Amino acid sequence: MDILAIKQRFGIIGNSPLLERAIDIARQVAPTDITVLITGESGTGKEFFPKIIHQLSARKHGPYIAVNCGAIPEGTIDSELFGHEKGSFTGAHDARKGYFEVANNGTIFLDEVAELPLSTQVRLLRVLETGEFFRVGSSNVIKTNVRLVAATNVNIPQAINAGKFREDLYYRLSTVPIYIPPLKERKEDIVLLFRKFASDFAEKYRMPIMQLDEKAQQLLMNYRWSGNVRQLKNLVEQISIIENNRNISAEMLLKYLPEYDKTDLPVLVKNNSSSSEFYERDLLYKVLFDMKKDINDLKKLVVDIMQEGGVSNDFQENNSMLIKNLYKDFDSVDNIEGESNLKIHHDVSNSNNEPIIDTEEIIDEPLSLEKKEIDFIKKALEKYKGKRKNAALELGISERTLYRKIKEYQLDNY
């Protein structure tokens, strides 16, 4: 049977390549006894595919049972699937056959299979692997020959990671997976489905068929349809009953699509737990950049003053020391360009009004910055007779830094 004949037989509407691919896989797997797992969003029509598989298989004359696993209470799910013996639990007045026993030589469709409790998943795995099971309250092994088709709208790998679904059962169920596309992936079928549902409801309620204008059609195709075909069908039925005008416009549709203005585009979500961390980090970066700028400006100013030749050697030495200390305090000594060779230009004129000669004097820094720093600290402390606050001001550093330097260089006696 070809795909078109299958669609006509089972009332499937649509020409989407993804939909036809799913139908083709169901058609090819039907003659075998392979277990099939059907996945897709809620409302996409997953319930049609187990029927296709059953009707096109050699089991088509055997029983077909559809079980909604999410609708059965956890305490009775084992009894429903595998049966129970009389007196096995409160209320078990008689022995009862389960679905796997009743559907022998037929097909069982387990819808919402991800809702099964873990204990039931163990029993189901045994049936799939050995074809054997026990009734609740019995030790007698029962054999069954059942074709299993399962379906779910849950992301099974995520459920496995969360410990809610057995990984071995997943691989046993998904021997052949079939993916049913949502409406947002088959937009070309939306108008066809609307017309089909409009025709069905017009016949059911004995009223004229509704017609869509061009803008209304575009509106339907741009809508995200989170409820898929089921949502579209309900919308068509609602409009069929309420609206007297059978020519449906975009304005009329908007009344039934209140969330149309929402978008599925991703958005950035602010993480409040880390907002303070980002704020403090940005603030720290700003302070450090401002300090770096101030240090660079100070260095340039000192060099410019020294080039003019209008300051004493003590002032030059103190400011040179200040620059080095500031860079050292912020672990930035390596970023000082040309710090080891400070070039100072002097404009020299002789008394005979000879042309100015631009000479260059290169002052080499000592090999040990640490030794020079110790000498400056000693001189400042001696000058102010051990008053560290005044000494720190003279050196251009904070008292805290001076205390650290004194402790580091063991200058407590000064």
Q: Per-residue pLDDT tens, the chain, 414 aa: give them.
A: 899 999 999 999 999 999 999 999 999 999 999 999 999 999 999 999 999 999 999 999 999 999 999 999 988 999 999 999 998 888 888 999 999 999 999 999 999 999 999 999 999 999 999 999 999 999 999 999 999 999 999 999 999 999 999 999 999 999 999 999 999 999 999 999 999 999 999 999 999 999 999 999 999 999 999 999 999 999 999 999 999 999 999 999 999 987 765 544 444 444 444 444 444 555 566 666 667 667 777 777 766 666 665 555 555 555 555 555 544 554 444 444 444 343 333 443 444 444 444 444 444 444 456 777 888 888 888 888 888 888 888 887 888 888 888 888 888 776
Residues 166 and 239 both lie in one domain? no
Structure tokens that stand for 346 in this block? 């002097």
- Letter for the amino acid at 3? I
165, burial (CB in 10 Å: exposed 0-12, middle 13-18, buried 19+): buried
- Whole-angstrom Cα distance, residue 307 to residue 360? 10
Adjacent-strand bridge partners of 37: 150, 177
pLDDT given at position 44: 95
The pLDDT assigned to 166 comes to: 96
| Reported pTM | 0.62
Distance of alpha carbon 56 from alpha carbon 319, whole angstroms: 94
Backbone phi, psi, residue 166, to 5°: -75, 130
- Give the per-residue pLDDT at 356: 43
Asked if residue 63 and residue 204 are part of one domain, the reply reads no
Residue 221 burial (10 A CB sphere; 0-12, 13-18, 19+): middle
**DSSP letter, residue 184:** G
116, amino acid identity: L
Distance separating alpha carbons of residues 363 and 204, to the nearest angstrom:
103
Q: Where are the beta strands (DSSP E) in 214-296?
A: 247-248
CB under 8 Å, gap of 24 or more: what pairs does 262-267 form?
A: 262/224, 264/224
pLDDT at 343: 39
Residues 386 and 303 in one domain: yes
Please identify, among 234, 254, 274, the residue that sits at the C-terminal boundary of a domain: 254
CA distance linking residue 299 with residue 327, whole number of Å = 10
Q: Are 243 and 389 contained in the same domain?
A: no
pLDDT for res 360: 42
Instruction: Evaluate whether 109 touches 50 at the Cβ level (below 8 Å).
Output: yes
pLDDT value at residue 81: 96
* 303 and 349 part of one domain: yes
Spatial distance between the Cα atoms of 57 and 108, rounded to a whole number of angstroms = 13
Radius of gyration of the chain (CA): 42
Give the bridge partners for 149, in sequence order.
36, 109
Listing DSSP states for 128-155 in one string gives HHHSEEE-BT---EEE---EEEEEESS-
CA dihedral 201, 205, 209, 212 (to 10 degrees): -60
379/242 same-domain check? no
**pLDDT confidence of residue 380:** 83
Q: Are residues 177 and 225 in the same domain?
A: no
Which of 254, 278, 306 delimits the end of a domain? Answer: 254
Query: Distance (Å, rounded) from C-alpha 119 to C-alpha 82?
Result: 13
162 and 231 together in one domain:
no
Count of the separate structural domains present in the chain: 3
Domain span at residue 326 reads: 291-409
Q: How far apart are CA 70 and CA 74, in angstroms?
A: 9
